[in-house]
Structure 1
Amino acid sequence: MSRPKIRLTVVDRLGPKGCHRGHKVGDTFDFDTERGQVCPMAMHVAFPYIDILRYGGRIPGQPEGTAVFCCPDVDTINVFKVEVVEE
């Protein structure tokens, strides 16, 4: 059984300042091939969600195969969506 692909997308920004890593709403990343381009602070938060979704789990209150989370930078607060990509 192969692992499903995971996509991360910046869907909103709630903080008053731009991202120090340069992420903007609409940026999309393939977890397997582009995760090094994602801010390390955001990846630290994203990984548990990715792990849960990739191995068949579900996040309470979220549509199946998705999770929404915020980066921990209080000045930026980028909102990311993680989703399983069906091939």
Structure 2
Amino acid sequence: MHLLCMTVLIGFLAGLVARWITPGRGFSGFLLTMMVGIAGALTASFFGQLLRWYEPGQSAGFVGSVIGAILLLAGHHLVVRGR
């Protein structure tokens, strides 16, 4: 339960920082911000393990989570802008 609470907290904070850094309108609300932050952490962990920056089973830290969330938000803005 402790790991879940920490994941949600770090995901929300990473989502907030990513929304603050990434320009444009997009996701809003507590739940969507948290989901973008958690998805960013998972994305950063996946690519970090793929590039051998992290060991298998090791997750990305806060900075990696923010970078992953920024990449997801930037991709979202590019897709939405193209419509």
By relative contact order (CA 8 Å, sep 6+), the higher-ranking structure is: 1
Task: With the length of structure 1 as denominator, give the TM-score of the two structures.
Answer: 0.33
- Larger fraction in strand: 1
Return the TM-score normalized by structure 2: 0.34
Bigger proportion of residues as helix: 2
